[in-house]
Structure 1
Amino acid sequence: MIKEIGLEQWKFDRYGNPAGLGVRLMCLFIDGLVFVPVGIVLWLIEFFVPVNIPTEVFELLFIVYLIVYHWKKGATIGKKQTEVRVETLDGGRITLLQSVIRASLFLVSWLIFVIISFQESLVVSKTITNSTGSEITISGPANMWLLYMNIIAVGLIVVDAFWILTNKDKRALHDVLAKTRCRVK
Protein backbone atom coordinates (compact mmCIF):
# COMPACT_ATOMS: atom_id res chain seq x y z
CA MET A 1 0.00 0.00 0.00
CA ILE A 2 1.37 3.41 -0.98
CA LYS A 3 0.56 6.18 1.44
CA GLU A 4 0.36 9.61 -0.22
CA ILE A 5 -0.11 12.58 2.07
CA GLY A 6 1.24 15.37 -0.10
CA LEU A 7 4.48 17.00 -1.16
CA GLU A 8 5.78 17.10 2.41
CA GLN A 9 5.37 13.33 2.79
CA TRP A 10 7.01 10.40 1.02
CA LYS A 11 5.75 7.19 -0.49
CA PHE A 12 6.82 4.63 2.05
CA ASP A 13 5.93 1.24 0.65
CA ARG A 14 9.55 0.60 -0.38
CA TYR A 15 10.96 1.38 3.06
CA GLY A 16 9.75 -1.19 5.51
CA ASN A 17 12.65 -2.90 7.18
CA PRO A 18 14.05 -1.44 10.41
CA ALA A 19 17.65 -0.26 10.15
CA GLY A 20 19.86 -2.29 12.48
CA LEU A 21 23.05 -1.36 14.29
CA GLY A 22 25.38 -2.46 11.48
CA VAL A 23 23.79 -0.30 8.79
CA ARG A 24 23.54 2.64 11.21
CA LEU A 25 27.26 2.38 11.98
CA MET A 26 27.98 2.30 8.25
CA CYS A 27 25.88 5.46 7.83
CA LEU A 28 27.85 7.17 10.59
CA PHE A 29 31.15 6.05 9.03
CA ILE A 30 30.16 7.48 5.63
CA ASP A 31 29.01 10.72 7.26
CA GLY A 32 32.40 10.91 8.97
CA LEU A 33 34.12 10.54 5.60
CA VAL A 34 31.87 13.21 4.12
CA PHE A 35 32.96 15.52 6.91
CA VAL A 36 36.71 15.07 6.30
CA PRO A 37 36.79 18.02 3.82
CA VAL A 38 35.23 20.24 6.51
CA GLY A 39 38.08 19.30 8.83
CA ILE A 40 40.60 20.06 6.10
CA VAL A 41 39.04 23.49 5.47
CA LEU A 42 39.16 24.29 9.20
CA TRP A 43 42.80 23.16 9.31
CA LEU A 44 43.65 25.34 6.28
CA ILE A 45 42.00 28.34 7.92
CA GLU A 46 44.09 27.74 11.06
CA PHE A 47 47.23 27.29 8.95
CA PHE A 48 46.90 30.44 6.85
CA VAL A 49 45.09 32.74 9.27
CA PRO A 50 46.51 33.33 12.74
CA VAL A 51 43.48 31.93 14.54
CA ASN A 52 43.01 28.92 16.78
CA ILE A 53 39.83 27.00 15.95
CA PRO A 54 38.90 24.62 18.77
CA THR A 55 38.21 21.00 17.86
CA GLU A 56 34.77 21.45 19.36
CA VAL A 57 33.80 23.66 16.38
CA PHE A 58 34.22 20.68 14.04
CA GLU A 59 32.20 18.47 16.36
CA LEU A 60 29.43 21.04 16.71
CA LEU A 61 29.24 21.45 12.93
CA PHE A 62 28.82 17.66 12.63
CA ILE A 63 25.92 17.69 15.10
CA VAL A 64 24.28 20.60 13.25
CA TYR A 65 24.73 18.62 10.00
CA LEU A 66 22.93 15.64 11.56
CA ILE A 67 20.08 17.79 12.82
CA VAL A 68 19.54 19.72 9.57
CA TYR A 69 19.84 16.76 7.20
CA HIS A 70 17.51 14.56 9.24
CA TRP A 71 14.99 17.39 9.48
CA LYS A 72 15.13 18.71 5.91
CA LYS A 73 16.01 15.60 3.89
CA GLY A 74 15.02 12.70 6.16
CA ALA A 75 18.52 11.28 5.83
CA THR A 76 22.13 12.31 6.03
CA ILE A 77 24.43 11.66 3.09
CA GLY A 78 25.53 8.41 4.75
CA LYS A 79 21.94 7.31 5.21
CA LYS A 80 21.09 8.15 1.60
CA GLN A 81 24.03 6.03 0.39
CA THR A 82 22.83 3.06 2.45
CA GLU A 83 19.17 3.70 1.59
CA VAL A 84 18.15 4.46 5.15
CA ARG A 85 15.56 7.07 6.02
CA VAL A 86 14.48 8.64 9.31
CA GLU A 87 10.72 9.01 9.62
CA THR A 88 7.98 9.57 12.17
CA LEU A 89 6.17 6.55 13.57
CA ASP A 90 3.34 7.10 11.08
CA GLY A 91 5.75 7.36 8.15
CA GLY A 92 6.04 11.13 7.71
CA ARG A 93 8.89 13.61 7.75
CA ILE A 94 10.34 14.42 11.13
CA THR A 95 10.11 17.90 12.64
CA LEU A 96 12.99 20.10 13.72
CA LEU A 97 12.22 19.30 17.36
CA GLN A 98 12.31 15.56 16.65
CA SER A 99 15.63 16.00 14.86
CA VAL A 100 17.08 17.87 17.84
CA ILE A 101 15.78 15.20 20.23
CA ARG A 102 17.35 12.50 18.02
CA ALA A 103 20.67 14.29 18.26
CA SER A 104 20.26 14.85 22.00
CA LEU A 105 22.37 11.85 23.04
CA PHE A 106 25.13 13.01 20.71
CA LEU A 107 24.72 16.52 22.09
CA VAL A 108 24.88 15.39 25.72
CA SER A 109 27.87 13.14 25.05
CA TRP A 110 29.57 15.91 23.09
CA LEU A 111 28.99 18.47 25.85
CA ILE A 112 30.45 16.08 28.41
CA PHE A 113 33.53 15.54 26.24
CA VAL A 114 33.87 19.32 25.76
CA ILE A 115 33.77 19.86 29.52
CA ILE A 116 36.35 17.12 29.98
CA SER A 117 38.62 18.60 27.30
CA PHE A 118 38.54 21.97 29.07
CA GLN A 119 39.32 20.29 32.38
CA GLU A 120 42.13 18.04 31.09
CA SER A 121 44.70 20.66 31.98
CA LEU A 122 43.80 20.23 35.63
CA VAL A 123 46.11 17.39 36.56
CA VAL A 124 47.26 16.69 40.07
CA SER A 125 50.81 15.39 40.36
CA LYS A 126 52.16 13.79 43.47
CA THR A 127 55.71 12.60 43.95
CA ILE A 128 56.27 9.77 46.37
CA THR A 129 59.34 7.81 47.37
CA ASN A 130 59.08 4.05 47.20
CA SER A 131 60.87 1.54 49.46
CA THR A 132 63.99 1.50 47.25
CA GLY A 133 64.40 5.27 47.54
CA SER A 134 63.26 6.01 43.97
CA GLU A 135 60.89 8.88 43.39
CA ILE A 136 57.68 8.11 41.50
CA THR A 137 55.39 10.80 40.12
CA ILE A 138 51.71 9.90 39.98
CA SER A 139 49.43 12.05 37.86
CA GLY A 140 45.67 11.94 37.79
CA PRO A 141 42.63 14.08 37.10
CA ALA A 142 42.10 16.94 39.51
CA ASN A 143 38.54 15.86 40.06
CA MET A 144 37.11 12.36 40.01
CA TRP A 145 33.92 13.77 38.48
CA LEU A 146 35.81 14.04 35.16
CA LEU A 147 36.18 10.29 35.17
CA TYR A 148 32.53 9.85 36.05
CA MET A 149 31.43 12.22 33.29
CA ASN A 150 33.52 10.30 30.78
CA ILE A 151 31.89 7.06 31.89
CA ILE A 152 28.44 8.67 31.52
CA ALA A 153 29.25 9.96 28.02
CA VAL A 154 30.45 6.59 26.79
CA GLY A 155 27.62 4.89 28.67
CA LEU A 156 25.01 6.93 26.81
CA ILE A 157 26.41 5.79 23.48
CA VAL A 158 26.57 2.15 24.63
CA VAL A 159 22.99 2.26 25.95
CA ASP A 160 21.81 3.74 22.65
CA ALA A 161 23.50 0.94 20.68
CA PHE A 162 22.24 -1.72 23.11
CA TRP A 163 18.71 -0.36 22.71
CA ILE A 164 18.87 -1.05 18.96
CA LEU A 165 20.02 -4.62 19.55
CA THR A 166 17.31 -5.43 22.09
CA ASN A 167 14.35 -3.67 20.46
CA LYS A 168 12.29 -5.66 17.94
CA ASP A 169 11.78 -2.53 15.83
CA LYS A 170 15.53 -1.75 16.09
CA ARG A 171 14.75 1.72 17.37
CA ALA A 172 17.55 3.38 19.30
CA LEU A 173 16.91 5.21 22.55
CA HIS A 174 17.07 8.52 20.68
CA ASP A 175 14.43 7.18 18.26
CA VAL A 176 12.14 6.25 21.16
CA LEU A 177 12.58 9.67 22.79
CA ALA A 178 11.95 11.50 19.48
CA LYS A 179 9.14 9.16 18.36
CA THR A 180 10.99 8.36 15.14
CA ARG A 181 12.29 5.26 13.39
CA CYS A 182 14.94 4.41 10.81
CA ARG A 183 13.90 2.32 7.85
CA VAL A 184 16.01 0.75 5.15
CA LYS A 185 14.95 -0.35 1.66
Structure 2
Amino acid sequence: MTDIPRQYGIADDPTQAFESLRQEISLLHTAIQGLTAAREKMPDYSPTLGAISRQLAAMTEGITRIEQAPGVKLTPAIMVQQLAKAAADARADDKRQMDDARADLHKVIGRMDGLVVRARSTDLQRRRELWMMLGAFLSGILLWSFLPGMIARSLPESWHVPQWMAARTLGKEQATYNGQAGDNNHTPEKN
Protein backbone atom coordinates (compact mmCIF):
# COMPACT_ATOMS: atom_id res chain seq x y z
CA MET A 1 0.00 0.00 0.00
CA THR A 2 2.87 2.23 0.23
CA ASP A 3 3.04 2.40 -3.57
CA ILE A 4 -0.31 4.24 -3.99
CA PRO A 5 0.86 7.71 -2.90
CA ARG A 6 3.81 7.56 -5.24
CA GLN A 7 1.60 6.60 -8.22
CA TYR A 8 -0.54 9.72 -7.85
CA GLY A 9 2.25 12.09 -7.02
CA ILE A 10 1.33 12.46 -3.37
CA ALA A 11 4.27 13.08 -1.04
CA ASP A 12 4.96 10.80 1.82
CA ASP A 13 5.62 13.62 4.15
CA PRO A 14 2.48 15.20 5.69
CA THR A 15 4.13 18.59 5.97
CA GLN A 16 4.97 18.55 2.44
CA ALA A 17 1.41 17.40 1.63
CA PHE A 18 -0.11 20.27 3.63
CA GLU A 19 2.23 22.74 1.98
CA SER A 20 1.23 21.47 -1.39
CA LEU A 21 -2.45 21.68 -0.39
CA ARG A 22 -1.96 25.21 0.93
CA GLN A 23 -0.39 26.30 -2.37
CA GLU A 24 -3.22 24.79 -4.36
CA ILE A 25 -5.85 26.47 -2.18
CA SER A 26 -3.97 29.77 -2.43
CA LEU A 27 -3.88 29.40 -6.20
CA LEU A 28 -7.58 28.53 -6.25
CA HIS A 29 -8.35 31.53 -4.02
CA THR A 30 -6.38 33.85 -6.35
CA ALA A 31 -8.17 32.43 -9.35
CA ILE A 32 -11.59 33.02 -7.75
CA GLN A 33 -10.63 36.58 -6.85
CA GLY A 34 -9.49 37.16 -10.46
CA LEU A 35 -12.77 35.83 -11.78
CA THR A 36 -14.76 38.08 -9.47
CA ALA A 37 -12.68 41.10 -10.46
CA ALA A 38 -13.03 40.20 -14.14
CA ARG A 39 -16.75 39.85 -13.68
CA GLU A 40 -17.00 43.26 -12.08
CA LYS A 41 -15.01 44.84 -14.94
CA MET A 42 -17.19 43.16 -17.61
CA PRO A 43 -19.41 45.71 -19.49
CA ASP A 44 -23.21 45.57 -19.22
CA TYR A 45 -24.52 44.11 -22.46
CA SER A 46 -28.21 44.26 -21.53
CA PRO A 47 -29.05 47.45 -23.59
CA THR A 48 -27.30 46.01 -26.63
CA LEU A 49 -28.97 42.66 -26.14
CA GLY A 50 -32.34 44.44 -25.73
CA ALA A 51 -31.82 46.31 -29.02
CA ILE A 52 -30.85 43.09 -30.74
CA SER A 53 -33.94 41.44 -29.27
CA ARG A 54 -36.19 44.24 -30.60
CA GLN A 55 -34.58 44.04 -34.04
CA LEU A 56 -35.08 40.27 -34.08
CA ALA A 57 -38.74 40.76 -33.13
CA ALA A 58 -39.19 43.30 -35.98
CA MET A 59 -37.44 40.98 -38.41
CA THR A 60 -39.61 38.08 -37.28
CA GLU A 61 -42.73 40.20 -37.80
CA GLY A 62 -41.52 41.24 -41.28
CA ILE A 63 -40.76 37.66 -42.22
CA THR A 64 -44.22 36.64 -40.98
CA ARG A 65 -45.82 39.35 -43.16
CA ILE A 66 -43.76 38.19 -46.15
CA GLU A 67 -44.80 34.59 -45.53
CA GLN A 68 -48.46 35.65 -45.41
CA ALA A 69 -48.23 37.68 -48.64
CA PRO A 70 -50.22 36.10 -51.49
CA GLY A 71 -47.29 36.37 -53.90
CA VAL A 72 -45.13 34.06 -51.78
CA LYS A 73 -47.86 31.43 -51.60
CA LEU A 74 -48.15 31.31 -55.41
CA THR A 75 -46.70 28.36 -57.19
CA PRO A 76 -45.47 28.75 -60.77
CA ALA A 77 -48.54 26.89 -62.04
CA ILE A 78 -50.90 29.21 -60.15
CA MET A 79 -48.93 32.24 -61.38
CA VAL A 80 -49.27 31.01 -64.99
CA GLN A 81 -53.04 30.57 -64.49
CA GLN A 82 -53.41 34.03 -62.99
CA LEU A 83 -51.29 35.60 -65.72
CA ALA A 84 -53.36 33.85 -68.38
CA LYS A 85 -56.57 35.03 -66.69
CA ALA A 86 -55.28 38.60 -66.45
CA ALA A 87 -54.23 38.52 -70.13
CA ALA A 88 -57.65 37.15 -71.13
CA ASP A 89 -59.38 39.87 -69.08
CA ALA A 90 -57.19 42.54 -70.69
CA ARG A 91 -57.91 41.18 -74.17
CA ALA A 92 -61.64 41.05 -73.42
CA ASP A 93 -61.53 44.66 -72.19
CA ASP A 94 -59.56 45.70 -75.30
CA LYS A 95 -62.06 43.86 -77.52
CA ARG A 96 -64.97 45.60 -75.80
CA GLN A 97 -63.30 48.99 -76.25
CA MET A 98 -62.56 48.23 -79.92
CA ASP A 99 -66.17 47.11 -80.47
CA ASP A 100 -67.39 50.34 -78.87
CA ALA A 101 -65.01 52.37 -81.04
CA ARG A 102 -66.11 50.42 -84.14
CA ALA A 103 -69.79 51.06 -83.32
CA ASP A 104 -69.07 54.76 -82.80
CA LEU A 105 -67.17 54.83 -86.08
CA HIS A 106 -70.09 53.20 -87.90
CA LYS A 107 -72.46 55.77 -86.40
CA VAL A 108 -70.21 58.61 -87.53
CA ILE A 109 -69.86 57.08 -91.00
CA GLY A 110 -73.65 56.74 -91.17
CA ARG A 111 -74.07 60.38 -90.21
CA MET A 112 -71.47 61.40 -92.77
CA ASP A 113 -73.24 59.32 -95.44
CA GLY A 114 -76.47 61.06 -94.48
CA LEU A 115 -74.76 64.43 -94.80
CA VAL A 116 -73.34 63.46 -98.20
CA VAL A 117 -76.77 62.26 -99.39
CA ARG A 118 -78.34 65.43 -98.05
CA ALA A 119 -75.65 67.53 -99.71
CA ARG A 120 -76.16 65.67 -102.99
CA SER A 121 -79.91 66.09 -102.76
CA THR A 122 -79.41 69.77 -101.94
CA ASP A 123 -77.07 70.10 -104.90
CA LEU A 124 -79.57 68.27 -107.12
CA GLN A 125 -82.35 70.49 -105.82
CA ARG A 126 -80.27 73.59 -106.57
CA ARG A 127 -79.61 72.34 -110.11
CA ARG A 128 -83.31 71.67 -110.58
CA GLU A 129 -84.13 75.13 -109.28
CA LEU A 130 -81.54 76.64 -111.64
CA TRP A 131 -82.99 74.74 -114.61
CA MET A 132 -86.49 75.71 -113.55
CA MET A 133 -85.46 79.37 -113.25
CA LEU A 134 -83.75 79.20 -116.63
CA GLY A 135 -86.83 77.53 -118.13
CA ALA A 136 -89.12 80.08 -116.50
CA PHE A 137 -86.90 82.91 -117.77
CA LEU A 138 -86.89 81.54 -121.30
CA SER A 139 -90.63 80.87 -121.09
CA GLY A 140 -91.12 84.43 -119.87
CA ILE A 141 -89.06 85.78 -122.77
CA LEU A 142 -90.97 83.64 -125.23
CA LEU A 143 -94.31 84.53 -123.68
CA TRP A 144 -93.43 88.24 -123.56
CA SER A 145 -92.40 88.16 -127.19
CA PHE A 146 -95.82 87.18 -128.54
CA LEU A 147 -98.29 87.75 -125.69
CA PRO A 148 -98.37 91.56 -125.91
CA GLY A 149 -98.96 91.27 -129.65
CA MET A 150 -101.82 88.85 -129.09
CA ILE A 151 -103.32 91.09 -126.44
CA ALA A 152 -102.91 94.17 -128.67
CA ARG A 153 -104.55 92.41 -131.59
CA SER A 154 -107.43 91.26 -129.41
CA LEU A 155 -108.26 94.81 -128.34
CA PRO A 156 -110.67 96.88 -130.46
CA GLU A 157 -109.11 98.39 -133.57
CA SER A 158 -110.27 101.82 -132.68
CA TRP A 159 -107.73 101.86 -129.91
CA HIS A 160 -104.89 101.62 -132.40
CA VAL A 161 -102.82 99.62 -129.91
CA PRO A 162 -100.73 97.76 -132.51
CA GLN A 163 -99.74 101.05 -134.15
CA TRP A 164 -98.99 102.60 -130.80
CA MET A 165 -96.79 99.57 -129.90
CA ALA A 166 -94.96 99.74 -133.18
CA ALA A 167 -94.30 103.47 -132.74
CA ARG A 168 -93.01 102.86 -129.25
CA THR A 169 -90.79 100.06 -130.44
CA LEU A 170 -89.28 102.24 -133.15
CA GLY A 171 -88.87 105.14 -130.74
CA LYS A 172 -91.14 107.47 -132.71
CA GLU A 173 -94.04 109.52 -131.57
CA GLN A 174 -97.43 108.13 -132.18
CA ALA A 175 -99.08 109.55 -135.25
CA THR A 176 -102.64 110.83 -135.14
CA TYR A 177 -105.04 109.60 -137.80
CA ASN A 178 -107.75 111.66 -139.53
CA GLY A 179 -109.68 108.76 -140.71
CA GLN A 180 -112.56 107.00 -139.27
CA ALA A 181 -112.45 103.79 -137.53
CA GLY A 182 -112.07 100.92 -139.88
CA ASP A 183 -110.60 103.05 -142.68
CA ASN A 184 -107.41 101.47 -143.93
CA ASN A 185 -106.20 104.38 -146.03
CA HIS A 186 -105.22 106.67 -143.27
CA THR A 187 -102.48 109.17 -143.59
CA PRO A 188 -100.84 110.08 -140.42
CA GLU A 189 -100.68 113.69 -139.39
CA LYS A 190 -97.76 114.82 -137.46
CA ASN A 191 -98.22 117.16 -134.57
**TM-score w.r.t. structure 1 length?**
0.19
Higher normalized contact order (CA 8 Å, seq sep 6+, divided by chain length)? 1
Higher strand share: 1
Bigger radius of gyration: 2
Higher helix share: 2
TM-score where L is the length of structure 2? 0.18
